[in-house]
A and B are shown apart, each in its own frame.
Chain A
Amino acid sequence: MTNHRLSPQTINDPLVKIRGVTFRRGTRLIFDNVDIDIARGKITAIMGPSGCGKTTMLRIIGGQLRPDSGSVVVDGHEVPALSRRALFTLRKRMGMLFQSGALLTDLNVFDNVAFPLREHTDLPESMIRDLVLMKLEAVGLRGAKHLSPNQLSGGMQRRVALARAIALDPLMIMYDEPFTGQDPISMGVLVRLIKLMKDALGITSIVVSHDVQETASISDYIYVISAGKVVGEGTPETLRNSASEWVRQFMDALPDGPVPFHYPAPDYEEDLLSGGRA
């Protein structure tokens, strides 16, 4: 059940198929009937302004959140309907890079990367060591293997988290804001790494980001989400030339346009004059 990575009838099917997904936080509608396809072996970007629900979408794909309605199919499995056990089996083949890195703070860099290997495989320690060193070498941090997470910069933490995410050679990696808060150099390093994961290992990637230039430079396909809907999709080329105001605003980083800068709020003047009674 777990190893139809190359089975012929599925190879042209999207790895992740999201259909009509609606999701609410309390009364706020985060997603309204969203359709997204993630093609196998490609880099797909999901972009949108801060707070539009990009992280939420990754959690829905990973089965940590359940949509209110709609279907999420990952590699042929309907995620919201999976049992806990089946979900965990599926997750072994999905890597996720958290916005914060989320390294285990009581383990050093080496043990963090070794963690999924030790938990999920019976490999001898010598082989685990080789594998971990290979993954760390790939992200350029083999020399940092003895450091603990709090001795690393944010960018380094994210690279260690990437090494950990690829430890089990997953089918797919979800990157949550890989570029935020990175200097231009480590940004470049990460961009190259994500591309390398695709080219060398054929890993399907979902990159969630609001860094338009970097993301557009590596993506094969882009979805732009705003106000709970997909407002634009296509290759980076088509989006750059898109006529849609929503997409224009986002791709050209215009401060105002159809995407409001403000979280939904009562009228400003009224709020100020109400003296806290509202």
Chain B
Amino acid sequence: MTQALETLGRAGLRSFERLGRGQIFMAYVLAGIPEIALRWRLVVHQVYAVGVLSLVIIVVSGLFVGMVLGLQGYNTLVDFGAEESLGVLVALSLVRELGPVVSALLFAGRAGSALTAEIGLMKTTEQLSAMEMMAIDPLHRVVAPRFLAGIISMPLLAAMFSAVGVYGGYFIGVGLLGVDEGAFWSQMQDAVDLRDDIFNGVIKSIVFGVAVTWIAVFEGYDTVPTAEGISRATTRTVVNSSLAVLGLDFILTALMFD
């Protein structure tokens, strides 16, 4: 019994210690951001690796999520004779919730895990150590551009997801099930508010971008330098950042749409 408590206590202490280390780590990375932002080529390169290469999965998923929304929404709305509001339902679900959340989850799986594995492998093969010995701070040179790229990419990917999703809903609703095209778009235009819906959605996706990328680069940098260490760190990135996204989404939703 006491042993169980002891183990629990130690695990608790360790996670608090990691949390603290994660914050110090982030302070160092943030200090490197101004310098790295000037060397925009480094950031562009990472936006490509982190963002552009995630496009396919984001677009395909957005399309399917939009189509499912179209189907389910139509089936429910048609019972109340309100199928013309399908556009509103699809757009609001996507812009407020599904766009930021689902794209962040996909981003964690696609880009977050790749970031962790890449930085972890650089650590394992002493590349980070070598940089330090060349008087180049890997937190600035390696981590900062990747972090910045994650924050830039996430809202763009979420926007892409929502846009494609709306077309998915349109394709099913208007194209297949015969919802009136004019009503679909005009109701959507009336109901979706720039500040309340779009703006809040963008804020959400920026917050998710910070959380996912932070977790990913920290797990990579904090990897135990072995093959097993990298695989554990990658798993932790996906699990922790997914949980962080869902938890943050609840908090943000409560604050934004009360």
Contacts and interface: CB of A to CB of B under 8 A. Distances in A.
Interface string B180-218: 000000000000000000000000000000000000000
Interface of B: 121-122, 125-127, 129-137, 141
Contacts of A89: 135
Contacts of B125: 100, 102, 105
A145 interface: no
A88 B126 contact: no
Interface in A159-174: 161, 164, 168
Given A102-B126, A104-B127, A120-B136, 18 more contacts: A64-B133, A84-B137, A91-B135, A92-B135, A95-B133, A96-B130, A96-B133, A98-B129, A100-B126, A104-B130, A104-B131, A105-B122, A105-B127, A115-B134, A115-B136, A116-B134, A161-B130, A168-B134
A39 B134 CA distance: 22
B130 A98 contact: yes
Interface of A: 62, 64, 84, 88-92, 94-96, 98, 100, 102-105, 115-116, 119-120, 161, 164, 168
A116 B133 contact: no
Contacts of B131: 104
B136 A102 contact: no
> Looking at chain B's contact residues, is the secondary structure mostly helix, strand, loop, or mixed?
helix
A103 B126 CA distance: 8
Contacts of A90: 135
Contact of A64 (B121, B122, B129, B141): B129
B130 A102 contact: yes
A100 B127 CA distance: 10
Contacts of B126: 98, 100, 102
Contact of A119 (B129, B132, B133, B141): B141
A72 to B, nearest CB: 15
A116 B134 CA distance: 7
Nearest to B118: A106
A119 B127 CA distance: 15
B102 to A, nearest CB: 30
B127 A102 contact: yes
Nearest to A100: B126
A193 to B, nearest CB: 19
Of listed A84, A89, A115, A161, residue having the most chain B CB within 10 A: A115
A164 B122 CA distance: 17
A91 B134 contact: yes
Contacts of A91: 132-135
A173 B58 CA distance: 48
A116 B126 CA distance: 16
Contacts of A115: 134, 136
A62 B133 contact: yes
Contacts of B130: 96, 98, 102-104, 161
Contacts of A116: 134-136
B122 to A, nearest CB: 8
Contacts of B121: 105
A119 B130 CA distance: 14
B133 to A, nearest CB: 4
B195 to A, nearest CB: 42
B15 to A, nearest CB: 22
A164 B127 CA distance: 13
A98 B130 CA distance: 7
